[in-house]
Amino acid sequence: MNGALPADMTTMAVRELGRLMPMFLWIAPTGQICAAGPTLSKVCGAGLLSGARFFDVFDLTKPSPAATMADLARLTGQRLQVRLRHGARTALRGQIVPLAGQDGLLVNLSFGIAVAEAVRDHRLTDADFATTDLTVELLYLTEAKAAVMEELAALNHRLDTARNAAEARALTDALTGLANRRALAAALARAVDAASRGRRGFALLHLDLDLFKAVNDTLGHAAGDFVLTRVAAVLRAETRKQDTVARVGGDEFVLILPGQVDPAQIDAVARRIIEGLETPLVFEGRPCRISGSIGATASCLYPVPEADRMLNDADTALYASKRRGRGRATIYAPDLRLPEDRRAPEQPGPGAGGSGAG
């Protein structure tokens, strides 16, 4: 505390005033800061306030600029807005009361609505506020509200995650993790709509496993499940992220390949899938070999593509592959005729024949 105290402003009185108004300033007629409340000293830094002039520490922004003590005195009773010139430049609000006997001015400051930021920036606690100040209660309410909002946000996130997981399960085949019939229907509807609007065309492939029944009959359903998961892995490896791969039956799969309408491209994908399926597998020390037959069609073959018609045509091409001896791919054409059935009965054995395209 600097400057001579008036007779009615003892050191004890200043200390007690600081308890009631922890952000007060006593400004001498010369503009020198004679005393300050403990919280304001903490915010500004006691060394900064010691012996300083008011206008060296604070900028007066409202209601009007002031450069002299006379200017400041004329603002008595009005709401002030000031800002620290240094450091965090915290914004403050206050009011001026003139002291009797030409002893200067008493200014009581507060943080206003920026109290939460001030508490954070200056590491204030409830001890830095007067016991009658509602600021502490407001801060507790603010913290409680923030905690409630955080918990609500976390709850909403958990609900969104659970809903998304439930939707994913509803669209996913439980064994293979591929899309199921429901997901396929939605994806096919989108693909047909896009192609009908003149956007990107697509290929539709229907895959049926060959010799899968023999695996189930000789090695059991556990081996069958093992094979199906490996089939799913092959299909993922040979398709792109934007493709749809769905399991639609026990050993039947349907693929949607957006942007693939060239017969050579479709045939190349089908050949790679069949080659991958014919890689020998071993289940619990016993070999199990399968292959696959594929029927395919493309949206560009139709004036207006229709989901049911394309599925039927892909199915027709699939049966053509089956009748030609399995392990083959056939691309549908309007003049496609089913050949004579050359399939041999499925027997447990070393596996399927070589792949080929019809």
Q: Which residues does the annotation mark as catalytic?
A: 251
| Spatial contact of 341 and 323, defined as CB atoms under 8 Å apart | yes
Output the CA torsion sign for 209, 213, 218, 219.
Answer: positive
The letter for the amino acid at 9 is M
Cα gap 299→39, rounded to integer Å:
76
Token readout for 262 is 């060239």
Q: Which long-range contacts (CB under 8 A, 24 or more apart) does 179-187 make?
A: 179/244, 179/245, 179/246, 179/247, 180/246, 180/247, 180/248, 181/246, 181/248, 183/244, 183/246, 184/244, 184/246, 184/248, 184/254, 184/256, 185/307, 187/244, 187/246, 187/256
Token readout for 98 is 């003139």
324 burial (CB, 10 Å; 0-12 / 13-18 / 19+) is buried
| Spatial contact of 81 and 92, defined as CB atoms under 8 Å apart | yes
Cα gap 242→119, rounded to integer Å:
51
Give the strand order in the sheet containing 33-36. Answer: 33-36, 24-27, 105-110, 91-98, 80-84, 58-62
The letter for the amino acid at 275 is E
The CA dihedral of 121, 123, 125, 131, to the nearest 10 degrees, is -50
Phi, psi for residue 283 in degrees, rounded to 5: -120, 115
Q: How many alpha carbons fall within 13 Å on the CB side of residue 355?
A: 22
Cis before 334? omega within 30 = no
